[in-house]
Amino acid sequence: MNKITVGILGATGSVGQRFIELLSNHPYFEVAELGASGRSAGKKYSEAVNWIMQTPLPTEYGNLVVKECIPNFNSKIIFSGLDASVAGEIETQFAESGYFVISNARNHRFDIDVPLIIPEINYDHLELLHVQKYKGGIITNPNCSTIGLAMALKPLYDNFGLEAVNVVTMQAISGAGYPGVASLDILDNVIPYIGGEEEKLETEPTKILGKLHLSKTDSDKTNTGEIELTNFKISAQCNRVPVIDGHTESVQVKLKSKPTLEEIKKVWREFKSLPQKLNLPSAPIKPIHYYEEDNYPQAKIHRNLENGMGVAIGRLRECALFDYKFTILSHNTIRGAAGGTILIAELMQAKGYFTK
């Protein structure tokens, strides 16, 4: 197939850089345009960026001239790694001008007609694109900690029902972007606060695991749509820890039915969905890996599981307050950011959404 050209907004930031790294030699997409702030616009990308990825900056991207983040791109598919302080208005302008914006920012996640997508969980929510009033569309990727949590909860929710969830996160410093947290703050320390993070963890899974409702007009064309949120409660506490990549989450769940430990492990290990069926390029072969070792998962060992797109779970055991407790580990800048967003685009391409 001929590759589809794409643009990246916020290209000089850490998420934008990860987009470039993961899209290099991608079988579907080719990065053709890079957008950033007015300070960077007009410069060669290699001159505008402080490249912090472990892989070298490809020359073909280094020579691209950075554009302003205004809707004059030639590519109709736009990946947004913009900071939330500016993302909302810019992404709206692009969508109104006919672009498909697949965003890693929080601004539009709870817009009533904007899907908040984890491809293995709620790919059907992409149907909301048909009721958006934009010439193009906006699709959002969840918070980095939400993705690991929701992936673990989905098989439990479908098979046993959920009543309540408690989660405590230990989040890597790369989640704060670059330059992130000052070394004197994070070294030899744990910071028990990440602005806005607990609210995201407590609300986003209720939309992701929610039910899609579409209404049709007399002409049988989809007219309106919304997501009915799930009704189980989530309590979250979020901490920043001195780990470079990989978010760890300690989770407790109360279920509607009481499965055995082995039944829970089985539904995790057997969990697959549409991205695996379609064999999408970024899709992990096994979305969830369960480990029996008492001291697993660990960030150093498991964050690059399935090229950073897999979720590691371990330490499942009974809980004296809830029903069960366990530990999750996922890569926050790959599965939780750029990689998860690219997987959304791959799914949209495979299902023909870009021909809207």
Q: Confirm if 140 and 109 have CB atoms less than 8 A apart.
A: yes
CA neighbor of 348 nearest in space, from 117, 150, 63: 117
69, 108, 238, 247: which one is catalytic?
247
CA distance 93 to 71: 7
Active-site residue flag, 144? yes
Q: Produce one character per residue of 338-355: b if its CB has 16 or more CB atoms within 10 Å, e if not.
A: bbbbbbbbbbbbbeebee
CA neighbor of 30 nearest in space, from 1, 70, 66: 1
CA distance 329 to 282: 18
125, 144, 289, 331: which one is catalytic?
144
CA distance 215 to 1: 35
Q: Produce one character per residue of 281-320: b if its CB has 16 or more CB atoms within 10 Å, e if not.
A: ebbbebbbbbbeeeebbbbeebbebbebbbbbbbbbeeee
CA distance 19 to 343: 11
Six token digits for residue 100: 């498909």
Q: Return the number of other C-beta atoms located less than 10 Å from residue 88's C-beta.
A: 17
Q: Confirm if 331 and 303 have CB atoms less than 8 A apart.
A: yes
Q: Confirm if 11 and 35 have CB atoms less than 8 A apart.
A: yes
Q: Confirm if 198 and 183 have CB atoms less than 8 A apart.
A: no
CA neighbor of 276 nearest in space, from 102, 119, 155, 141: 119
Amino acid at 169: T
Q: Which residue has the tokens 């799930």?
A: 230
Active-site residue flag, 69? no
Six token digits for residue 20: 């470039």
Q: Which residues are catalytic?
A: 144, 247
